[in-house]
Structure 1
Amino acid sequence: MGRGSYALARVAVVVRAPAGWLWWPGLLSAGTGVLVPGLTGRRIGVLAGAALFLVVAGVVFAVRRPRYAALARGASRAGRSVFLQDRAVTLRNWRRARRWWLLLAFLAAVGSGFLIPAAAGMALAGAGAGLWAKALWLGGLERRSGSLLWVRTEWAQASPAAGPVRGYLSTGLAAGDAAPGGGRRRAGRVQAGAAVGEAR
């Protein structure tokens, strides 16, 4: 996995990062689409949107799950020299790198409402729901194994399960400032020294 000091991002946080930015704009664009009749009419648009929501959510949840599971099984223990990236930093970096794509997706979903009301917006929301469900699934893996999954930040530019990712690293459940599944840690932040100590 490499020696020396390097930054690690939580796998579940990276997966969860786009969920809200797809869910809420998707619902907003779907609601906007319902206000106009479109070419197909509202009823057809809403029915098509509901079907797209279920299909897209299911596909996004299922895609690459075997790859995630294999990487999780082969995770090696992180050393003391690693830097555990804060949850907020991981979220900010992901969204900053993709903000224009998110804006274009939202505008495209709103524009498509004039053809098929609500359909594209519901598909966008479905993608967000699928990613959120996948993050929860990863949280289940972490709880069962008693360890958190991390990935080197330079490997996971596209996805934490993409080809350049050579493996995951693991820490104790108390490491970092995010709970299993990538959500906020409700018990409060762990001090930095304790977090790095848990990386062994």
Structure 2
Amino acid sequence: MGRGAYALARVAVIVRASAGWLWWLGVLAAGIGVLLPGLTGRRIGVLAGAALFLIAAVVVFMARRKRYLTLARGASRAGKSVFLQDRAVTVRTRRRAVRWWLLLAFLAAVGSSFAVPAAGGMLMAGLGVGLWAKALWLGRWERANDVLLWVRPEWVPRGRPAGKAVNGYQTTGIVAGDAGPGGARRARAMESAAR
């Protein structure tokens, strides 16, 4: 990178990077948990898990939305010297940062099934769904405003793209980078059109 250049990572990609792992590990933990009778019994465990799933998904989806919108509305246009980080690099970096937490959460979810079957796994899955829904919400905002939101990766070491350490977002055109609005992989047709 040239003088004064720096990297930018997609906000939506950071948000959704852990969603898939949380979902699948949660489903696996819940599946294992259903096989255990637990102290409360399977029926109560699954009902409690369903409630936790919904609560977790809604809380994660709603958390810090005002902060996201404030940063998005105050975003500045990215300069020509910035380096746009590939989606795969952002996802890999984020997942590497949280892999041990995910493993501990999975083990805790399975362990909790000895008391309340499946509830811990369904809670994990709900967290994943909430993150995925938030990424989709960001994608709708990006499409409506015809921009993509980016943030400097060094400002989000704990994976909080709307945390206190984030001083602001930057924007690019809708076809910049290799991830579409919401952080999903860009369709090949759009990539071809961009070229």
The alignment's TM-score, normalised by the length of structure 2, stands at 0.95
Check the 8 A contact 1:176/1:190 in 2, yes or no: no
In structure 2, the partner of 1:137 is 137
Find the aligned partners of 1:155 and 1:20 in 2 and give their Cα distance: 23
Cα–Cα, structure 1 residues 148 and 56, in superposed 2: closer, same or farther, change >3 Å? same
In structure 2, the partner of 1:167 is 168
In structure 2, the partner of 1:65 is 65
Q: CA deviation at 1:190?
A: 4.5
Find the aligned partners of 2:188 and 2:77 in 1 and give their Cα distance: 24
Q: CA deviation at 1:188?
A: 5.6
Find the aligned partners of 2:172 and 2:53 in 1 and give their Cα distance: 35
1:53-92 to 2 correspondence within 5 Å? Answer: 53-92=53-92
In structure 1, the partner of 2:151 is 151
1:1-200 to 2 correspondence within 5 Å? Answer: 4-158=4-158, 159-187=160-188, 190=191
- What are the superposed Cα offsets for residues 52-78 of structure 1, whole Å, 9 maximum, x if unpaired? 000000000000000001100001000
Find the aligned partners of 1:12 and 1:64 in 2 and give their Cα distance: 14
Q: CA deviation at 1:187?
A: 2.3
For structure 2, the residue ranges without an aligned partner over 5 or more in a row are: none
For the residue of structure 1 that corresponds to 2:157, the secondary structure is coil
Find the aligned partners of 2:36 and 2:111 in 1 and give their Cα distance: 11
Q: Could you tell me which amino acid in structure 1 is paired with residue 187 of structure 2?
A: R
For the residue of structure 1 that corresponds to 2:131, the secondary structure is helix
For structure 1, the residue ranges without an aligned partner over 5 or more in a row are: 196-200
Aligned residues: 191
Q: CA deviation at 1:97?
A: 1.4
Find the aligned partners of 1:98 and 1:25 in 2 and give their Cα distance: 13
Find the aligned partners of 2:56 and 2:183 in 1 and give their Cα distance: 22
Residue identity over aligned pairs, in percent, reads 70
Check the 8 A contact 1:75/1:168 in 2, yes or no: yes
For the residue of structure 2 that corresponds to 1:4, the secondary structure is coil
For the residue of structure 2 that corresponds to 1:154, the secondary structure is helix
- Structural RMSD (CA): 1.5
Check the 8 A contact 1:177/1:189 in 2, yes or no: no
The alignment's TM-score, normalised by the length of structure 1, stands at 0.92
Q: CA deviation at 1:10?
A: 0.1
